[in-house]
Amino acid sequence: MTARAELHGDELVARRHLHAAPARVWTAFTTPAGIAAFWGGSHATVPPASVTVDPRAGGEFALDTRAPDGATRRLRFVYVRVDRPHELVFDEPVTGLRTTVTLRPADGGTDLTVHQRRLPPELRTARAAGGLASILDALATHLSDEGDSHAGSDPA
């Protein structure tokens, strides 16, 4: 299964079923190692040392993305709501883009929805939708590569 992403005006919604418990998906979204492992999707890499995470309302996380041509871009987000292990809401302060990540237990794994609102015009494209879908697919690969040794674990 691959991620599905739909663009509707200034909103982008991507969905993917993951074969991992919500606690493992949560850890991937809230730890530097987890974020570095999948955030670039198929179009960029994220140097692990560039990722900082403070998962609490008002906290922020930031990371560098490196394109295949070597161009690096710093991304920074501020958490609005952190409801472990169900929902993360964070804003990109420069553009006002709001992202809501929702995790729901389903079929022995997790149904993941990423809903972005207030997309800036340059992100209202099929390419951006494909990029978000590739990030969720990279997350699925990362969780699969971790193996079943973490299944059911719920790190503090």
Q: What pLDDT digit, counting tens, does each position of 80-92 carry?
A: 999 999 999 999 9
Q: What pLDDT digit, counting tens, does each position of 33-82 carry?
A: 999 999 999 889 999 999 999 999 999 999 999 999 999 999 999 999 99
Domains of the chain are: 4-146 (3.30.530.20)
Global pTM value: 0.90
CA pair distance 132, 13, nearest whole angstrom: 9
> How far is CA 150 from each of CA 20, 92, 129, 136, 154, rounded to the nearest angstrom?
9, 31, 30, 19, 8
User: What is the predicted pLDDT for the residue at 1?
Assistant: 66
* Tokens linked to 36: 């570095």
User: What is the predicted pLDDT for the residue at 123?
Assistant: 93
